[in-house]
Amino acid sequence: MAEDRPQIYLITPPAFEVETFAPKLGAVLDAHEIACIRLSIALKDELEIGRVADALRAQAHARDVALVLETHVQLVERHGLDGVHFTDGPKQIRYGRKTLGDEAIVGSYCGNSRHDGMSAGEAGADYVCFGPIGATSLGTSEPAEHEMFAWWSEVIEVPVVAEGALTEELVAKFAPVTDWFALGEEIWREDDPAAALGRYIAAMG
Domains in the chain: ranges and CATH: 7-203 (3.20.20.70)
Count Cβ neighbours within 10 Å for each residue of 155-192 and write b for 16 or more, e otherwise.
eeebbbbbbbbbeeebbebbbebbbbbbbbebbbeeee
Q: What is the pLDDT of residue 51?
A: 97
Predicted pLDDT at 140? 60
Residue 138, pLDDT score: 64
> Looking at residue 1, what is its pLDDT?
40
Task: List the single range of 3-12, 156-165, 187-196 with lowest mean pLDDT.
Answer: 3-12
80: left (phi over 0), alpha (psi -120 to 50) or beta: left
Percent of residues, the chain, with pLDDT higher than 70? 96
Phi, psi of 139 (to 5 degrees): 75, 180
- In this prediction, residues 198-205 reach a mean pLDDT of 96
- 91-113 burial by CB neighbour count: b if 16+ within 10 A, else e? ebbeebbeebeeebbbbbbbbbb
Q: What pTM, to 2 d.p., does this model score?
A: 0.95
Residue 98 scores a pLDDT above 50? yes
Q: What's the confidence (pLDDT) of residue 77?
A: 96
Q: Give backbone dihedrals phi and psi of 3, rounded to 5 degrees, phi first.
A: -65, -30
pLDDT score for 44 = 86
Is the pLDDT at 11 greater than 70? The verdict is yes
* DSSP β-bridge partners for residue 67: 37
pLDDT at 136 (0 to 100): 78
Taking a C-beta distance cutoff of 8 angstroms, is the pair 160, 182 a contact? no
How far is residue 113's CA from residue 40's CA, in Å, rounded to a whole number? 22
pLDDT of residue 2: 47
pLDDT score at 142:
87
pLDDT at 81 over 90: yes
Using CA atoms, how far apart are residues 61 and 151, in angstroms rounded to an integer?
34
Strands (E), the chain: 7-11, 36-39, 66-70, 83-86, 105-109, 127-130, 160-163, 180-183
**With the C-alpha atoms ordered 89, 108, 11, 75, is the resulting torsion angle positive or negative?**
negative
